[in-house]
Amino acid sequence: MTQSNNVGLGVLLMLLTTIVFALQDGISRHLADAYNVYLVVMVRYWFFAAFVMAIARRKAGGVRAVARTRQPLLQAFRGVLLALEVCVMVTGFTLLGLVESHAVFACYPLLVAALSGPVLGEAVGWRRWAAIAVGFVGVMIILQPGVSVFDPYAIIPLVAALMFALYGLLTRYAARQDSTATSFFWTGVAGAVTMTVIGIWYWEPMTQTDWLWMALLCVTGASGHWLLIRCYEVAEASAVQPFAYFQLVFASLLGVMVFGETIRPNVALGVAVIVAAGLFTLWRERQQR
């Protein structure tokens, strides 16, 4: 079955996805300020696992057919890696805020490009290596090592970006043998099992109001993934991926307007450098394809 390529609809869906995921990040920060990060992520993954199971039941052959894979260790590792990455990123939200966490995390497409050679065996030309180097300069502008007192918490979103980049590359690798539905199923289930093993030890009662926020967090998580799936169904990924950077914009707006964060000049400059390098990398990848 050939994929449609309705770029206009794809861009709209990607923008809606970034809005929903930015809201999810804001709610995650709110809850993680009051409760343990592992608890928040665990409940979120319970709903996520139920969501992927519901999708799997609607596929031909049901859950058993969707879960079937010849690379279960790889699929399980992907799910565990993403769950732990979410924990790291939410921790960054509580320690650094949404603005600076997303500013550093914006470098993940450059990390994908840098790691695509050793992980996938793809050729990375000098132009993309130059863009990666420029993006790294942008990260250094944000982190400002050696200026006054370096904040070690700034490394947290960088670690999350590295983990997410590796997850994305492993997802591409898994796609050589497994369908998108299979990878999505393993992402939700393996992540839910991992977070249950970790998070159940940090269980604590929540207020009724915070349970409502938790319910909204679960809904935004599921709806965000559904929108992203629909986005890639109606348009080519290379055409809509640049618009994923709008999550940085929307998350920063939430950080400033809701949590009283500020955007320092060096952060704005560093983000501009990173986004420009990332857009160039995506453009080069599309040209080669």
Could you tell me what percentage of the chain is helix, strand and coil, using 3-state DSSP and rounding each to the nearest 5?
80, 0, 20
Instruction: Record the pTM.
Output: 0.85
> Cβ of 287: how many Cβ atoms within 10 Å?
9
- Domain spans in the chain, listed from the N-terminal domain onward: 7-288
pLDDT in tens, the chain (289 residues): 444 567 778 788 888 988 998 999 999 999 999 999 999 999 999 999 998 998 888 887 888 889 999 899 999 999 999 999 999 999 999 998 888 888 888 888 778 777 777 776 766 676 777 877 887 777 777 776 554 445 678 789 989 999 988 988 888 888 888 888 888 899 999 999 999 999 999 999 999 999 999 999 999 988 888 888 778 777 766 667 777 778 888 888 888 888 888 878 888 888 888 878 777 776 766 666 6
Q: Minimal CA–CA distance to 37: which of 104, 85, 99, 100?
A: 85
Amino acid at 184: F
